[in-house]
Structure 1
Amino acid sequence: MAYRPSWQGHLKLSLVTCPVALYTATNSGGDVHFNLINPKTNNRIKMITTDPDTGPVERSALVKGYEVSKGEYILLTDEEIKSVKLESTKTIDIERFVPGDEIDRIYWDNPYYLAPDGKMAQEAFGVIRTAMEKSGQIALARIVMATRERILALEPRGKGILAYTIRSDAEVRKPDEIFEAISGAKADAGMIAIAEKIIEQREGPFDPSAFVDRYEEALKALIEDKKKGHKPAKVADPEDTNVVDLMSALRASLASKAKGSDKAAAAKAKTTKSAAAKPKTRKAS
């Protein structure tokens, strides 16, 4: 499948440059997409751009406007916006290298794949990528995307480079604005000890393939039922959990998980025992 680049330009490290293309590294959403339908006619609704005074307007005739005061706009055409050119409009110029753990995870934004654009770019791209890999650090550069200049963090990934847009400090809310009302009282040591054991029981490797969007799967099942003419089953609302005794709840959680682990271990042992009991067959010589 041929992917369309989100951005094309040059990657630059000092005086070394090469043409590159930037591709989105993630899919925008799931498989279930809805349209607005008029239930009386079963027709899909069309969104029509309308002027409150003159009526419908062709979208191609519209321009962008920046509101300077109530009802007063500075109008800008696409050509005028494109005329604002910075070096980062078409060049990813690496400015510095920093250790990866110095960038707080809250600043990481959207991931992209950066690859050489054409055969002539392969050698220079390989030199820059390999030098970055040997440094063991994150490269920081700038890029203009969607009328904004963004910080771009670059790190080698496979034969290419993984690029992340980095949020600016102005985009990130200060945690104290949200966390200020949280009590500073120390939690009970005994409860913490039980909670730690529950955490230990749930430890395991990160496997993104194990996480399925159950809500989307339920939506697909609902759509399939309606397609077959079945009346969708009514799902009961989840019960509210009113925890009166936190220590009892923690102990019950620990016991239920241990019980589940014992059942899993017993089932595994039974399977192993059954497999061992089966007679081995030899191939005829």
Structure 2
Amino acid sequence: MAPRANWKGFLRLSLVTCPVALYPATSESEKISFNQLNRATGHRIKYLKVDADTGDEVPNEDIVKGYELEKGQYIEVSKEELEEIALESTRTIEIDEFVDRTDIDPRYLIRPYYIRPDGKVGHDAFAVIRETIREMNKVAIGRVVLTNREHIIALEPMDKGLVGTLLRYPYEVRSEREYFDEIQDVKVTIDMLDLAKHIVNQKAGRFDPDKFEDHYETALIDLINQKRAGKPITPKERPASTNVVDLMEALRRSVGKEAAPAKASKPAKKPRKAAAGQKEMLMSIEGKKPVKEAAAKKPVAGARRKSA
């Protein structure tokens, strides 16, 4: 079942308008999460809102927001005052300009959304806007109001829809000078650079997310399955770290290390796709099952993940 739209409104390019809906393009819900428990009773931990000085629990209706001017000195702001200054959503994504993709600093990227026509009308206008952006090889920059705040949004074509990425404002991005000014100016020799380039060429490829596996998530599944099966948990031996002082020697060793896999005749193991069957894999106590086999089995009640 498709997730519910986070926002519904209109996409507008000058006088061309169409109804659209925004859907989150990413999700963390598939990751394993834990609840906090009382070790003595096994019961979940409950958090209470208490007065920091008296320790008394405070009901929600008596809690207000406050901005700290100085230590212990606050300016109270009521819900009504916040509502008074809140931006009223125009329910319209206004496209203001078109820029090159390379103009957008990656530090400004926040969160992607899928955008599609909302309902059966407006598909023609949506297609015109989408294909214009595609043909011009540009990124459309617009504004959208979400949760009473105005956000900058960058729109790009993807297949039959659009991807809208929220952007940060300049005051939200820290200056790199605070962190990079103290980096020493080091002259890299041509020999070192040649060796490093050789390593890069040996590891060159195309980015494919399916090649990567979340090893920590896999280890969590194994751990939970072992504990459900009552198997003893034994810590793994950690590889000893080796310090190579000579940088040239480290580069030479790296070149040899990266060249070694090319001689191996054994085919590389194809990584599993965890998203589709990962939750079902957690149901089995015998260990991990292939994704297709796990997806075909009905999950066992009582073993579902619980979010914190």
Q: Which deviates further from its counterpart, 122-131 or 15-24? A: 122-131
Which residue is equivalent to 2:78? Answer: 76
**3-state SS, counterpart of residue 205 of structure 1:** coil
User: Does the 8 Å CA contact 2:107/2:173 hold for their aligned counterparts?
Assistant: yes
CA distance in 2, matches of 1:121, 1:2: 21
Matches within 5 A, 1:5-44: 5-28=5-28, 30-44=30-44
Distance 1:253 1:95 in 2: 49
Please report how far the alpha carbon of residue 31 of structure 1 lies from its aligned counterpart in structure 2 after TM superposition: 2.5
Q: Is the 8 A contact 1:10 1:17 kept in 2?
A: yes
Q: Is the 8 A contact 1:30 1:216 kept in 2?
A: no
Task: In structure 2, give the amino acid aligned to 1:252.
Answer: R
User: For residue 224 of structure 2, what is the aligned residue in structure 1?
Assistant: 223
Unpaired runs of 5+ residues, structure 1, are 269-285
Q: TM-score, normalised by structure 1?
A: 0.84
Which residue number corresponds to residue 120 of structure 2? Answer: 119
Q: What letter corresponds to residue 118 of structure 2 in structure 1?
A: D
How far did residue 16 of structure 1 move? 2.2
Q: Distance in 1 between matches of 2:56 and 2:118?
A: 46
Q: Deviations over 1:29-83 (max 9, x none)?
A: 5431100000100001111222344833344664433345533232322x65444
Contact 2:64 2:76 in 1 (8 A): no
- Relative to structure 1, is the Cα distance of residues 131 and 83 closer, same or farther in structure 2, using a 3 angstrom cutoff? farther
Q: Which deviates more, 82-91 or 96-105? A: 82-91
- Alignment match, 1:57: 58
Q: Whose helix fraction is larger, Structure 1's or Structure 2's? A: 1
Q: Is the 8 A contact 1:91 1:143 kept in 2?
A: yes
In the alignment, which residue of structure 2 is the partner of 1:139? 140
Q: 1:122 offset after TM fit, Å?
A: 2.1
State the secondary structure of the residue aligned to 1:260. Answer: helix
* Distance (whole Å) between structure 1 residues aligned to residue 173 and residue 240 of structure 2: 35
Secondary structure in 1 aligned to 2:248? helix
Tell me how far apart the structure 2 counterparts of residues 113 and 210 of structure 1 sit (CA, whole Å): 24
**Helix, strand or coil: the match of 1:38?**
coil
Equivalent residues of 2:18, 2:117 under 8 A apart? yes
Q: Which deviates the most, 251-260 or 46-55?
A: 46-55
- Rounded Cα–Cα distance in structure 1 between residues aligned with 2:162 and 2:58: 44
Question: 1:66-113, CA deviations, whole angstroms, 9 ceiling, x for partnerless residues?
Answer: 345533232322x65444454655221111111111112222221111
SS in 2 for 1:97: strand
Please identify the structure whose Cα radius of gyration is greater.
1
Partner in structure 2 of residue 273 of structure 1 = none
| TM-score, normalised with respect to structure 2 | 0.78
Question: In angstroms, what is the RMSD of aligned CA positions?
Answer: 2.2
236-245 or 248-257, which deviates more: 236-245
Q: Which digits, 9 at most, give the CA deviation of each residue in 1:201-230, with x for residues without a partner? A: 101111101111101111111111111222
Residue equivalent to 2:48: 48
Give 1:18 shift: 2.1
User: How many residues are treated as equivalent by the alignment?
Assistant: 265
Moved more, 196-205 or 98-107: 98-107
Q: Give the structure, 1 or 2, with the largest relative contact order (CA under 8 Å, sep 6 or more).
A: 2
Q: Which amino acid aligns with 1:26?
A: T
8 Å contact kept, 1:139–1:154: yes
Match of 2:238 in 1: 237
Distance in 1 between residues matched to 2:75 and 2:194, nearest whole Å: 61
* Cα distance in structure 1, aligned partners of 2:20 and 2:61: 31
Q: Distance in 1 between matches of 2:34 and 2:81?
A: 35
